[in-house]
Amino acid sequence: MPNEFPHKLKDNPISPGAKSQEPNGISIQLHTLDPGLYLVATPIGNLRDISLRALDVLASADLVLAEDTRTSAKLFNAYGLKTPLSAYHDHNAAKRVPNLVERIAGGGVIALISDAGTPMVSDPGFKLARACIEDGLDVIAIPGASAVLSGLVVSGLPSDKFMFAGFLPAKTSARCTALEALKSVPSSLIFYESAGRLSAMLTDVLAVLGDRPMAIARELTKKYEEVLRGSISQMLERLEGEKLRGEIVVIIGPPEGREVWEEHQIIDALKSRIGDIGVKRASEEIASLSGHKKRDIYALALILKDDLKR
């Protein structure tokens, strides 16, 4: 079978004049990469979860963008990576995007990493990736670790359909409103949450979604990795008087049975998703979950889009 992506990472082991690096006994190969934005997944805890391809790309890029260069420096030091690191985050994205796009358009190879896991999942990389796509530039995924998928597969909850909903709002009223929009989604729901807000979050989840099976996955791939499983009420009992620490992924099981959504449920769900992923993708997502035809959902989404602009 021919290489499916022959124009991305060259298959020639070593480009003319390039060298191999072998930090910690791992062979890192320097390649001539096509210009583009490379979205490189990094470990979520255990540094050995980095892929060989990711190391090759990070070593071969002209520049690596990171949320926090101090955090990323630990990975770079562990593997002897010398590529320049530069901070890219929500606070400087608007200022930096035009220059970065121009650099890639001029033949630059830029890699984007998050503090941990796969870029674009709850991090600011979306703005840069979208700008590159709009300019017709290549955006290439270098897959690897993901807290979302790691949490799902160890949860023991249905994994054939799932929805990642990121962080819920911090305030109870806004959090309950967001949960109402997810109430009828017939799939496992995955959230990120801070340790300090976990009990408050689960209290609202119980009130809005009912007492479903769930799992709490914390410190995944790290020394103190732990997965707690049970009903939401059982988890609240268990957490009473106990404060978990570390990075936390919360997985909530789907509702029992499947019902066709009512119009108000569709409207709430579309309003919560259009701003994040656009009309077309939101319509496809909600149609697959609601039991309604895509063309009907799309027509409603177009109306809501105009209303949301006002």
Q: What is the pLDDT of residue 196?
A: 92
Q: What percent of the chain has pLDDT over 90?
A: 63
Contacts of residue 256, defined as CB under 8 A and 6 or more positions apart, other chains included, come to: none
d(CA 70, CA 80): 15
Average pLDDT over residues 259-279: 83
- The letter for the amino acid at 245 is R
Contacts of residue 129, defined as CB under 8 A and 6 or more positions apart, other chains included, come to: 37, 39, 112, 120, 139
Q: What percent of the chain has pLDDT over 70?
A: 90
Residue bearing the bigger pLDDT, 143 or 304:
143
Q: What is the pLDDT of residue 7?
A: 37
The three-class DSSP label of residue 182 is: helix
Q: Are 201 and 175 in contact (CB under 8 A)?
A: yes
Kindly provide the residue ranges of all beta strands, DSSP E only, lying in the chain, ordered along the sequence: 20-21, 28-29, 36-40, 63-66, 85-87, 109-113, 139-142, 162-167, 188-193, 213-218, 226-231, 248-252
With respect to CATH, is domain 20-145 assigned 2.160.10.10?
no
Long-range contact set of residues 10-14: C-beta below 8 Å, sequence gap at least 24: none
Segment 202-211, tens digit of pLDDT: 999 999 999 9
Average pLDDT over residues 117-127: 84
Segment 209-227, tens digit of pLDDT: 999 999 999 999 999 999 9
Q: What is the pLDDT of residue 20?
A: 57
Torsions phi, psi of 48, nearest 5?
-80, 0
Q: What is the pLDDT of residue 255?
A: 87
Q: What is the CATH number of domain 158-172+185-252?
A: 3.30.950.10
Segment 5-26, tens digit of pLDDT: 333 444 333 343 455 566 666 7
d(CA 296, CA 266): 11
Q: What is the pLDDT of residue 25?
A: 62
Residue owning tokens 């990493």: 113
What are the domain boundaries of the chain?
20-145, 158-172+185-252, 263-309
Res. 177: pLDDT tops 70: yes
Average pLDDT over residues 153-157: 96
pLDDT averaged over the chain?
A: 88
d(CA 42, CA 54): 8
Average pLDDT over residues 73-82: 95
Closest CA to 103 of 120, 121, 124, 88: 88
Residue owning tokens 């309003």: 271
Res. 113: pLDDT tops 70: yes
- The letter for the amino acid at 189 is L
Q: How many CB atoms lie within 10 A of CB 54?
A: 24
Average pLDDT over residues 167-172: 95
Res. 62: pLDDT tops 70: yes
119-141 CB burial, b ≥16 within 10 A, e <16 = bbbbbbbeebbebbeeeebbbbe
Q: Worst-scoring range by mean pLDDT, 12-26, 110-124, 166-180?
A: 12-26
Tokens (6 digits) for 215? 């799992």
Q: What is the pLDDT of residue 200?
A: 95
d(CA 284, CA 293): 9
- pLDDT band at 292; cut points 50, 70, 90: confident
Q: What is the pLDDT of residue 271?
A: 86
Residue bearing the bigger pLDDT, 99 or 184:
99
Res. 104: pLDDT tops 60: yes
Q: What is the pLDDT of residue 85?
A: 96
Average pLDDT over residues 177-196: 93
Which is it for strands 248-252 and 188-193: parallel, antiparallel or unpaired?
A: antiparallel
**Fold: same for 20-145 and 158-172+185-252:** no
